[in-house]
Structure 1
Amino acid sequence: MENNINHSQALLRKAILTLPFVWIILSVFNDVSFVHSTLLGIALVLISYFLGDLMILPRMGNTSATISDFILSLLVIWGGLNLFGYDEAFGESLLTAVILTIAEYFFHLWMERTQFNGPTDVRQS
C-alpha cells in the first residue's frame, strides 16, 4: 500500500503544518521556551508521521488516524511539557492537540490523494 511514498516531501509538509501551530500556541501565548516547543514539535512530527500516517492511516482510514493523532498529540505535548518542568500544561496541550488534529485531517487527505493513490478507508478494501 505504500507505493512510492515521498517521505521527505511528506515530512516537510507535516513540519510546515505542525511547527508554526506549536510555536504560536506554546511559545507566544504560553511562555514555553522556543527550544522546548521546537523539540516537542519535531518529536511530534516524527512520531505521528511514523505511527499515524504510515501505520494507522493506510490500514484504518482517515477517521481512525485523526483520532489517534489527537491522542498522540495530547500525550506527546503534555508529557513533554511536564518533562521540561512546565506544570499545569494540560490546557495548552489540549488546545494544541485540537488545532493540530484539524490540520492533520487535511494532511491525511493529501497523503491519501498523493502518496497512497486514493482513499484509505477500510470499507473500500
Structure 2
Amino acid sequence: MKHMKALGIKFIFTAIVVYSIFGIFYNASLGRLFWISVLVTGVAYIIGDLFVLPRFGYIIASIADLGLAFLSLWILGTLIIDITMPIVIASLFAAVFMALCESLFHVYMREQVFHTVPEGEKTPYSSDRLQTEFAEETNEHSVDEKKKENDKHK
C-alpha cells in the first residue's frame, strides 16, 4: 500500500509538469499527455526510486532521475505528440522541474516507504527532540525572592 501511495504522489507531480510544459508549448491532447505521464512515472519509479535510490543515495538518484526523465520525455514526446517545433528544450525544462520535485520525493521514499533513516538523522520535528524549559519566574515565590535580593543589593 505504501508503494501505491508513493506512485500516486509521483504521478501527480509528473502529470502536473507534463501537462504544464507540453500542454502549453505543443497543445497536445489530455489523453496523450496522460499516457506520457503514466509511462514516465512507471519507468522512473522502478529504475530511479526502487533501484538507484536505495543503492546510491539522494544525489546520484536525482541525477539519474534527471537524465531518465529527459530521455523518456524526449522519446515519448517525439512518438506520441504531433510535433511542430523541437521537443528537446521542452523535455529538458520538464526534466529539470521533475528533478526538483524528485529531490523532495526521495526524502519521502526514504522515510515512509523504505524506513531507512539512521538513528542520528531524524526529522527536525520528531517528538523525541522536543524539550520544555521551566524558568524561575513561573514560581511566585522565586519571583518574590528575586525582588527581595535585588532590593538588598541596591
Q: Same fold (TM over 0.5)?
A: yes
Q: Would you identify which runs of 4 or more consecutive aligned residues in structure 1 move more than 4 Å?
A: none
Distance in 2, matches of 1:78 and 1:71, equals: 11
3-state SS of 1:115 partner: helix
**Which amino acid in the other structure matches residue 72 of structure 1?**
L
Distance in 1, matches of 2:93 and 2:8, equals: 23
Q: Is the 8 A contact 2:3 2:113 kept in 1?
A: no
Distance in 1, matches of 2:91 and 2:49, equals: 21
Match of 1:46 among 32, 42, 51: 42
What is the CA-CA distance between 1:119 and the residue it aligns to?
Answer: 4.5
Distance in 1, matches of 2:114 and 2:30, equals: 34
Q: Which runs of 5+ in 1 are unaligned?
A: 121-125
**Which has the higher Rg, Structure 1 or Structure 2?**
2
State the partner residue of 1:117: 115
What is the CA-CA distance between 1:109 and the residue it aligns to?
Answer: 0.7
Aligned alpha-carbon RMSD (Å)? 1.6
3-state SS of 2:114 partner: coil
State the partner residue of 2:27: 31
Distance in 2, matches of 1:89 and 1:33, equals: 16
- Describe how 1:101-112 pairs up with structure 2 within 5 A: 101-112=99-110
What is the CA-CA distance between 1:64 and the residue it aligns to?
Answer: 0.8
Distance in 1, matches of 2:76 and 2:11, equals: 18
Larger RCO, structure (CA 8 Å, separation 6 or more): 1
- Percent identity between the aligned chains? 29
TM value normalised by structure 2: 0.70
TM value normalised by structure 1: 0.85
State the partner residue of 1:6: 2
**Which amino acid in the other structure matches residue 66 of structure 2?**
F
Q: Deviations over 1:10-42 (max 9, x none)?
A: 111111121111111111343122222211111
Count of equivalent residues: 116
Mean Cα displacement is larger for which, 106-115 or 28-37? Answer: 28-37
Q: Which runs of 5+ in 2 are unaligned?
A: 119-154
